[in-house]
Every structure is written in structure tokens, then in C-alpha cells.
A and B are shown apart, each in its own frame.
Chain A
Amino acid sequence: MNMLDDLLKLPGAMAAFEFRGSGELLDHRIAHPDRINESVLDLLAHMCAANLSIATMQARGWEKVTGMEGFYPIKQFTLIGFDWSVVVSGLQRENYKQAGKFSLPPFTGVVMANEKADYEAAFAILERKEPVP
């Protein structure tokens, strides 16, 4: 089963999407087209790409300065909005890097309604080890 389809089965899931490191939206699934659309996902993808990069820089710097390891590589970045949250991850890319691959898979994310959001369940799907071709 495709990871996007699995993410869309999470409690309160409204949309799941894939995007490049540059923020370009590549693929998506929408569960509630009356509440969220492709244009929102496109902007979210750019926001999340930027925040993942900044968080990665901060984690790297924090580890170097404090000697406190365990922040890098960032597994997920989550933005908690007023009604919705978005969780994004590029962890699958780490598996490809470890396998010596130069062509990396996209980043993946899910939008969930806060009242039902299960962040740990979203993390578990995003951390699932997919086979590296």
C-alpha cells in the first residue's frame, strides 16, 4: 500500500502529500476537498520544505555547540495550527542515502484535524522502512 494512502487513513487525516526539497508539490491525496485543496498543499509543501531545512540546520548547530546528540537527522517537523496540524518527514531519504543511492525519494507529509490528530501514529507511518529499489 502506498504511504500516502496509509497516511490518509490516520484519525482526522485531511490530506497527504509528497514534495521535493525545493518545496514543489509532486503528488497528493485529499480526503476533504471541501476544506482543503491542492493550492493549500502547494503552499504548505514550500513552508514545510523551508522549516525542515531550518530545523536541520538548528539541530546540526545545537549538537555541535552543546555536544548533546540525538536531534539530527530531523525525523519529522510538525506545524500545529489552530484547527489543523501538518507533519512532514524526509526520513525515507536517509534510508536511500545509507544504501548509497544518489537519487532520493520525495518528502512526505500529512494534514490532520487537531481534535483527532495522533502525531505518534503519523510518525510511525512516516518512519516505516520502505524497500530501497
Chain B
Amino acid sequence: MSIVTDLLAKPGVIAAGEYAYRGDRFSYRGALSEEHARMASIMCRATTMSVNMEASMLESLEPLNGFMPPRGWLVHGPNYSVCVVANVFCLLDNSNSSINEVVGFMRQALANIPADMI
């Protein structure tokens, strides 16, 4: 099974997808329109690129900290959360999802994804 399929099987995951680091394509499954999924993938890619730049800068100024290379990020809102690890994103309904489980699963499943395309 693909990681997107695995994520969609988890409680509270509304939609999940992948984007190319170079920004020329994306794919998704779940309860989002194509246009909204496109927007989500663009925002997720932009934030991923940004946190990678920031972590690189932090590493240059303070070497051997525990952030480099960054694995992902998470935005937690009142009802929904967005979780991104590597180039995979998912949208969560906070009322019936476990952030710890989703982050743990994504970190493990995507541990060997190369980041040299960033």
C-alpha cells in the first residue's frame, strides 16, 4: 500500500497527498476538490522549502543542533491540522485523530526518503 492509502485509513485523516519538490506536480486522495488540493500542495511545498532554508541557516550558525535536516512540520488549528513530512501532506480532523500517531507513522514511513531534491 502507498503511504497516502495508509494515511487515509487512519482515524480523522480527511485527505492526504504528495507534491514534487520542484513544484510541477501533485497527487492526492480524500475529501478535497482538485483546486483546493492544488492550493494545499502549493502552501505545503512553500512552507517545507522555507523550514528547510531556516534549518540550514540555523545549522550554519549553530552546527550540530538536532533540527538538520528537518523532517517536516505541523500546523494545529481549532478544528483541523495539517501535517507534512518530506513531500507528503495530510489534513486531519482534530476531533477524532491522533497527532502523535500520524506524526510517528509519517516519520517512520518516510525516514529513508532522500531530501537531496529540496
Contacts and interface: CB of A to CB of B under 8 A. Distances in A.
B107 A36 contact: no
A70 interface: yes
Given A55-B47, A84-B66, A71 B71 contact: no
B114 interface: no
Interface size class of A (residues with CB under 8 A): 35 or more
B70 interface: yes
A113 B67 CA distance: 10
> From DSSP, what is the main secondary structure of chain A's interface residues?
mixed
A119 B101 CA distance: 10
Nearest to B62: A40
Interface in A84-99: 84, 86
Nearest to B55: A81
A59 B76 contact: no
A80 B76 contact: no
A74 B40 CA distance: 16
Contact of B73 (A37, A68, A80, A83): A80
Contacts of A76: 74-76
Looking at chain B, what size class is its interface with the partner chain?
Answer: 35 or more
A57 to B, nearest CB: 10
Contact of A70 (B57, B69, B70, B78): B78
Contact of B74 (A58, A62, A80, A82): A80
Given A80-B71, A119-B100, A75 B77 contact: yes
Interface string A22-53: 00000000000001110110011001001100
B62 A77 contact: no
A71 B80 contact: yes
Given A71-B82, A72-B78, A80-B103, 14 more contacts: A51-B47, A54-B50, A55-B47, A62-B39, A69-B79, A76-B75, A76-B76, A77-B76, A80-B72, A80-B73, A81-B67, A83-B67, A113-B66, A114-B66
9 contacts: A39-B61, A71-B80, A78-B75, A79-B73, A80-B72, A82-B70, A114-B107, A118-B100, A119-B103
